[in-house]
Amino acid sequence: MDVLKAILATAGILFAVLLAILILLAILWLIGNYSADRLIAVASLLLTLAGFLLTIIIQLRRRR
């Protein structure tokens, strides 16, 4: 079971790193092709995802 947890944790970290790189590339692309409505849409999407992740983290901490 410990091996499975280690594999899942590693996969989660790699997934988070890849998503961070993709978000950074998307932001750089949006800044290069400046469009205010695109920037606002991406910013709102990122804020929504951050709020969703924060909600999940808080719920998981309460269960312990």
At residue 63, the pLDDT reads 65
Both tokens of 39, joined, read 């920037």
pLDDT along the chain (64 residues), means of 10: 80 83 81 76 82 81 69
Is-contact 42 27, C-beta < 8 A? Answer: yes
At residue 10, the pLDDT reads 84
